[in-house]
Amino acid sequence: MNFGYTGTRHGMTAPQRATLENLLEHHASLVTETQQSIEYAPGVMDPHVGRHGGCVGGDEQFHHLCKKFGWRVEVLPGPTIEGKIYYADADYIYPPAPHMQRNKSLVAFAHWMYAAPYEREPQEHGGTWKTIGFARKAKRPLTIVYHDGNFTTENTP
């Protein structure tokens, strides 16, 4: 399953991170149970892939969670901004793209999107809330994890 993530350069709060970790672990275990009856040739398909936009902060934290679970991590970077990128030990890095194009690609590649916005209310400006909007428009399963660790889930199968 392909999990996409959008967050802010501020990073996640401790409650956001703990909730996201629990959600990822839960969703991954459900997918693994479903896939146990499917045999994959070694190296042909990774059952879990985490994708993010390559920024410091939330993307970096999501990256570490995915690696903790042993998942493949792919980065869809925006334009290079010195000191604000995070690619360490990524399994694959796509060519850089303008931010909104990159965010639409994150949604297009994801079976499930996770978001950890800085603000609780939708914002007119900012990549995290724009990406949440793209996920909603695409009717992609979406979990939004708020600062206090509470979350909402939309468009579930």
Helix (H, G, I), strand (E, B) or coil at 94: coil
More confident call, 102 vs 41: 102
Answer whether residue 90 is part of any domain: yes
Which residues are 49's β-sheet partners? 2, 72
Answer whether residue 101 is part of any domain: no
Task: Give residue 111's domain range.
Answer: 7-33+47-95+107-117+136-157
What's the order of all strands across the beta sheet hosting 112-116? 92-93, 72-75, 49-52, 2-7, 112-116, 142-145, 151-154
Answer whether residue 130 is part of any domain: no
pLDDT tens per residue, range 58-77: 999 999 999 998 899 999 98
pTM: 0.88
pLDDT tens per residue, range 97-127: 998 999 999 999 999 999 999 998 888 878 8
Answer whether residue 15 is part of any domain: yes
Phi, psi of 64 (to 5 degrees): -65, -35
Supply the pLDDT for residue 38.
47
Answer whether residue 125 is part of any domain: no
**What is the token pair recorded at 87?**
């690619």
Answer whether residue 58 is part of any domain: yes
Determine which of 15-24, 27-36, 88-97 has the lowest per-residue pLDDT on average. 27-36
pLDDT tens per residue, range 7-29: 999 999 999 999 999 999 887 77
Inter-helix orientation angle 99-109/127-137, to 10°: 40
Number of structural domains in the chain:
1
Residue type, 79: P
Answer whether residue 68 is part of any domain: yes
Answer whether residue 55 is part of any domain: yes
